[in-house]
Structures are given as structure tokens and as C-alpha cells.
Structure 1
Amino acid sequence: MVPQRVSLITIGASDLPVLRSFYKRLGWKETESSSDTYAVFKTAGVILSLFPIEELAKDAEVAITPDASSFRGVAFAINVGSPEEVDQAIEDIRRARGNILREPSDAFWGGRTAYFADPENNLWEVAWNPDSVFDERGAMLSF
């Protein structure tokens, strides 16, 4: 049986220093596992790593698609504890020079949501769901 969990997400970076700098401008702290060629950020429930896309493709034995700027069909989410936190996070992301794709708005499902892209067009949602339950570390347990 495959364990039902996500422990590590790696984003293949075309320009690691630029992408690393963006996440640091968000106020995210790197772990001691980071190096000149690999950035690691501990979040509430998952480790986020940034790794050169060529090395990631080589490790996975796959080819890199030519248009990395297009939507990849994947979005990451930062869930927060209140509607106001969505708005504040987007303002902080704007100051960090994130590309705001969708301004904060009330969602049809009863929450509040917004979207941004990092410097390499990785899609992120910032969302508040009134039914979300978080543990003491801030990891989402359910919604």
C-alpha cells in the first residue's frame, strides 16, 4: 500500500537564484539542507524544494517541455485562517513582486480566494475556507 501523504514538493527551477530570492522575499526561511544548487523551505506540513529543472528532469529521466511559461495544470495552495489573511497575504506577495493573477474575492463555495504566480509561473492559490481545520503547526487537517 502506498502511504496517503505528500511530504515533499520539488519545483524545477529555470533560474534557481531568482526563484529562491522570491520565496525568501515572502519571508520564508530556508533550512540547513539548502545549498548553492538546492533550496529547501519547511512549511507547516510539506517540505518545498527548488531544484534546477535540468537536474530534476535528468533525475526523473524525462524530457523538459519547451514552453515552461504555460500553465502546467498544477496549483499549490496556502490556506489561511481568515478572509482578512487572504487579502494581507496577497499584499505581501505583491510587495515581494509576485504576479497577482486573481485579486482576492469571495468564492462561490463560501470562502475567499486569490491566485498568484511566482517568477517562473508556478501557480499558487491563497484561500480561506470556513470549514478548514489546522493543527498546532498550521498544517491543514481537513476542509
Structure 2
Amino acid sequence: MYGELQGLNKQETAERYGKELVHGWRRSYDIPPPNGESLEMCSKQAVAYFREHIEPQLQSGKHVMVAAHGNSLRSIIMYLDKLTSQEVINLELSTGIPLLYIYKEGRFMKRGSPVGPTEAGVYAYTETLALYRQELDEMSQRTS
């Protein structure tokens, strides 16, 4: 929830409040915009939902797709990748680019990248390719 910034585009918001202040609201972890939510506040709700509703589905062997707004996704990625509050504020997400995580033995393994569509790992894998890639990763870990 962007509070008083709701419905304004980036340019309108910067003109009204100043570029530096808006950048601080958009990229800080714990500073909310006026009458809005910070990433920290959003994270509590998004991660709680993920843990309560999505993880049990994954544990039962189901495949789940999550589509959400930027801060909700940042919050979930922060949880999955164990990012710090400093690391998550620098996380850039590309609109419409899928990120694939594989859940195995209680762990999340990243199989996608928020960097951009040209990076090889961005596109979603078929299950067969995901299993093959996983085997390669396990083999390389054993030889390391």
C-alpha cells in the first residue's frame, strides 16, 4: 500500500515530494511513504501468507505459481534467498520475467534471475530439464 502515493506515477510523485524523498520511500526497508506501508511491513504479511498457504502446497509436491506486485515479490525473495534488509533494497525485478525456485528437502533452490531476460537462467524449465539441471548441480557440489 503506497498510501498518499497510490495512483501517482514516478514522475508525478517526484514532482510533488522531491526525487530524493521518493527514492528513499521506494528503496528503504523500513521507511513507509505517507500513510503507506514500508517493505518491512509488507514483508510480514507476504511471508506469513507464503509460509502458511504456499509452502504446505510445495511440501505436498504441488507446483505453485506466484504473481504479485514488486514489494510482495521482494519480500518473498528476501525470505527464499535469505537476503538482509540491505540486500533486498538493491534487488531489481524485471516485469513479467519468471523466476523459478525448486523446493526440495525443505530448501528453496533458485533457478531464475531477476537481472533480465538475456540471462540464461531466467526462463522457466520443464520438469525434466529442471531434474537434469539439479543432477548436474549435485554432481558439481560433490566434486567441489
**What interval of TM-score do these two structures reach, taking the shorter chain for normalisation?**
under 0.3
TM-score norm. by structure 1 comes to 0.25
Higher relative contact order (CA 8 A, sep 6+): 1
Relative to its length, the structure with more helix (as a share) is 2
TM-score, normalised by the number of residues in structure 2: 0.25
Bigger-Rg structure (1/2) = 2
Q: Select the structure that is richer in strand.
A: 1
